Amino acid sequence: MQTAFMDTQTSDPFLTVLPRDRFLVELADREAIRDCLYRYCRGIDRCDADLLRSAYWPDGLDSHAVPGKPPLNAYDFIGRVMPKLEMMQRTQHQITNSLIRIDGDNANVESYFWAVHQEHRDGELQDVHAAGRYLDRFTKRNGEWRIAHRHVLIDWFRVGEKSSDWSQGMFGKPSEGGDRFGRDFSGSFFAAGSAARS
């Protein structure tokens, strides 16, 4: 069933309402695409370049919210962003709404995101908030979905909020936080679960 209000001036792929049977047929592909989106976020937040590369095809492109510049090869983008991430105290990227439209081995995907970056600015630790959208063209090759081209739009941001004192914790007690570069607790947690099942 198609919506009756398709604007002929724009070919918005998200105006089409998909029937239930099509969603069921596409379910595995949709989950594979979502998994790829989440790998990207985890790769950024854990500073894991290999995990980041697993979200893009080697010939993939990334236009990361820098107007007027041509897109970079995705692996070159990862090489450039890793040193910047390493200088930050921590980051948190979350995917919220995702619209996915699959056409054979190609998909248009628009995902809203919310990201917080904690970094040193003006002699103090500050939080930088960003909200926006990942506009992705995915392709499926040999049964695997990855990003072929990403364009990032920043719809809202806030800079300069002083970070909370982590030594005091959220409720007056130190909190267990995440870490990066392979030191995050999740690595040993999931490894212990795998070892217990072996």
Say which DSSP state 13 is in. Answer: G
Kindly tell me if the per-residue pLDDT of 7 is higher than 50. Answer: no
Rg (C-alpha) for the chain, rounded Å, is 19
Kindly tell me if the per-residue pLDDT of 24 is higher than 60. Answer: yes
Return the closest-CA partner of residue 135 out of 65, 54, 47, 44: 65
Q: Which residue has the higher pLDDT, 167 or 92?
A: 92
pLDDT digits (tens, 9 = 90+) for 125-145: 899 999 999 999 999 999 999
Least confident of 1-5, 103-107, 137-141: 1-5
* CATH number for the domain whose boundaries are 13-191: 3.10.450.50
Q: What is the pTM of this model?
A: 0.82
Mean pLDDT over all residues of the chain? Answer: 86
Most confident of 11-20, 123-132, 143-152, 161-170: 143-152
Mean pLDDT confidence for 101-118? 95
List the domain boundaries for the chain.
Answer: 13-191
pLDDT band at 8 (very low <50, low <70, confident <90, very high): very low
Return the closest-CA partner of residue 142 out of 105, 107, 103: 105
Give the separation between CA 121 and CA 127, rounded to whole angstroms: 9
pLDDT digits (tens, 9 = 90+) for 52-103: 999 999 999 999 988 888 999 999 999 999 999 999 999 999 999 999 999 9
Mean pLDDT confidence for 158-170? 72
Least confident of 47-51, 67-71, 168-172: 168-172
What is the model's pLDDT at position 1? 34
Share of the chain above pLDDT 90, in %: 59
Give the separation between CA 5 and CA 195, rounded to whole angstroms: 55
pLDDT digits (tens, 9 = 90+) for 28-47: 999 999 999 999 999 999 99
